[in-house]
Amino acid sequence: MHISEGVLSAPVLLGGAALAVIGTAIGLRKTDQDKIMTVAILSAAFFIGSLVHVPIGPASAHLVLGGLLGVMLGWAAFPSILVALLLQAVLFQYGGLTTLGINTFNMAAPAVLCFFVFRPLLARGTTFRFTGAFACGFLAMLLSALLTAASLALSGDAFVPSAAALFAAHVPVMVVEGIITGFAYTFLAKVKPEALAAPIK
């Protein structure tokens, strides 16, 4: 889901960069010192998980783990994803520096949004936790794919077919993301609840 350099229009790039800066600033302000290690570990998980990708036109299909970062970090998902994307752009030329802002926003904003929407479920019993976490993983990926497709479509009619192909290719990944997030969250709720952004009742 990395959008490459030279694809998007200037307004989309500038808008995405501004939103990413705002989200990252909020995330840094809300990140406690004792959460730094968790943020770093999940940034590494995002980095590795999204390295395996299938190219689709100017973008790619791969795991994002946005829902998992959202349920574990809340707003801190923004700086976590930003660092991982920056390293991928510098080390492997995935995405790019000019698209760093929009790529960060497209992946981090849905993660944070889904966390707050499903937070009541995440804090309840095991069945509710799994359902809430699955929904976070599934919908975070769904919204990320929609935002990425919209970014392409807003940059010109020529990218509309690529945007549609990108979204279609990520539909199976949405289910996988939901399952991974559901099992990971319920496991961590049992063995290390203090690592989660939502308090466990």
The better pLDDT of the pair 146, 109 is held by 109
User: Across the strands, what pairs with 53?
Assistant: 62
Would you say 53 and 161 are in contact if contact means Cβ atoms under 8 Å apart? no
Matching CATH number, 10-195, of 3.40.640.10, 3.30.420.40, 1.25.40.10, 1.10.1760.20: 1.10.1760.20
Would you say 47 and 88 are in contact if contact means Cβ atoms under 8 Å apart? yes
Would you say 106 and 147 are in contact if contact means Cβ atoms under 8 Å apart? yes
List the chain domain ranges: 10-195
For range 138-161, the mean pLDDT: 85
Instruction: State the pLDDT confidence band at 194, using cuts at 50, 70 and 90.
Output: confident
**Residue that the structure tokens 């499903």 belong to:** 118
Q: What helix, strand, coil percent values describe the chain, rounded to 5?
A: 75, 5, 20
Would you say 76 and 35 are in contact if contact means Cβ atoms under 8 Å apart? yes
Residues 19-46: b if buried by 16+ CB within 10 A, e if exposed: bbeebbebbeeebeeebeebbeebbebb
Say what the pTM is: 0.85
For range 77-86, the mean pLDDT: 93
Q: Is the per-residue pLDDT at 121 higher than 70?
A: yes
Q: Is the per-residue pLDDT at 195 higher than 80?
A: no
Q: Is the per-residue pLDDT at 200 higher than 60?
A: no
